[in-house]
Amino acid sequence: METTENNNNASFNMAIKYLERLHDLLNKANFHSSSEEYYQWYQMLLTIYQELYPRLKISQQKEYTYLLLNLKIQMEKQKRKQYSLKTKLWIPTPSIDQLYEFDRLLRKHMNQNGLLMPTKKSIDDTMDEGSKG
């Protein structure tokens, strides 16, 4: 009996750590997006995609992989570059519109599958609505 409870606790803790990791990656993606660090934003979206990949349906894996490859191709074609103060190098810059599209797609998937952690405000709002009823 105790082993089952320990396994349930371990599974729960792993699930929470997974959500925390996704939440942290989204925060980093938001930071790079708002800082106009497009290549770093692309890298964060790629990392989020890799985290989500095992949970995606095959059709979603194909669609998202296609979008990522298209982003990479556009980066090479356009040869847009951005100077990185961090690396002191000129780095490729992906299409901003495609980045936004892919970002929205990942977030939509995460929301539909309960992978977005609620904000403190949304929790407080829910609690307030519950106490009014």
Does the global pTM surpass 0.75? no
- Domain-embedded: residue 120: no
Whether the pLDDT of residue 89 is over 80: the answer is no
pLDDT (0 to 100) of residue 23: 92
d(CA 131, CA 27): 31
Count of domains for the chain: 1
Is residue 28 within 8 A of residue 44, CB to CB? The reply is yes
Among residues 95, 68, 101, 69, the alpha carbon closest in space to that of 82 is found at: 95
CB-based contacts of 21, cutoff 8 Å, min separation 6: 51
- Domain-embedded: residue 131: no
- Domain-embedded: residue 8: yes
Structure tokens at 62: 């194909």
At 103, phi and psi to the nearest 5? -60, -50
Is residue 47 within 8 A of residue 25, CB to CB? The reply is yes
- Domain-embedded: residue 127: no
* Model confidence band, residue 88 (pLDDT cutoffs 50, 70, 90): low
- Domain-embedded: residue 102: yes
- Residue 38, domain extent: 2-113
